[in-house]
Chains A and B, each alone.
Chain A
């Protein structure tokens, strides 16, 4: 099975940088994804890491260390609109049936950006 750990809540100041960590245990690993979800909305894809290292997309960056089963999402130049829940999710490398890979989500980190 899979399990993911991430902080439940983080508070940061507008304009600052915040890092949301995610550790995982999985029987098969294919990649680590990050999703943003505003209250009342649907998850929006942010970033994906299959290999070790840093992926940068605008103000968002994501890092993965497969040897440490660890990743993080880095948000720079925080804006009020970044207040949301952030989920890390592991793609399970196990193969099932006609060919499918499960995505297992962490419990989410609620980010509050304050003025």
Chain B
């Protein structure tokens, strides 16, 4: 089983809203990731959690705030986003930090 789930599938929000994206895996993976993907571009790494600790933050603006409540869950809190933040947000997990990454279906975000 290599399933990573993400909710919601689609999200439309205004620039003053606060929303959260959720990611869950029950494979016992110890590393989880957030990526941002614009149309016709590769995924860009945003954050890495390794053993529930934030280990990589790729200079992401503070309007994106990650949270890892436990080893199975990963959240991305969104606040005061800009229209250019509209993209597909992908969560991934791997058994170990250097392991193969498996992606969830993504949340398609539109910021108006």
Contact = CB atoms under 8 A, between A and B. Distances in A.
Interface of A: 30, 33, 35, 41-45, 48, 87, 91, 96-108
A91 B98 contact: yes
B97 A101 contact: yes
A42 B105 contact: yes
10 contacts: A33-B100, A42-B88, A42-B104, A45-B100, A45-B102, A99-B50, A99-B51, A102-B45, A104-B45, A107-B42
Contact of B42 (A30, A98, A105): A105
B35 to A, nearest CB: 9
A45 B55 contact: no
Given A99-B50, A100-B48, A100-B50, A108 B42 contact: yes
Contact of A98 (B41, B53, B102): B53
Chain A contact residues, majority secondary structure? loop
B106 A98 contact: no
Nearest to B55: A97
A43 B90 contact: yes
Interface of B: 2, 31, 33, 40-43, 45, 48, 50-51, 53-56, 88, 90, 97-98, 100-106
Given A43-B90, A91-B98, A98 B104 contact: no
Contacts of B50: 97-100
Contacts of B51: 98-99
Q: Which 5 A-B pairs have the closest CB atoms?
A: A97-B55, A105-B42, A100-B55, A98-B53, A98-B55
Contacts of A43: 43, 90, 103
A110 B50 CA distance: 32
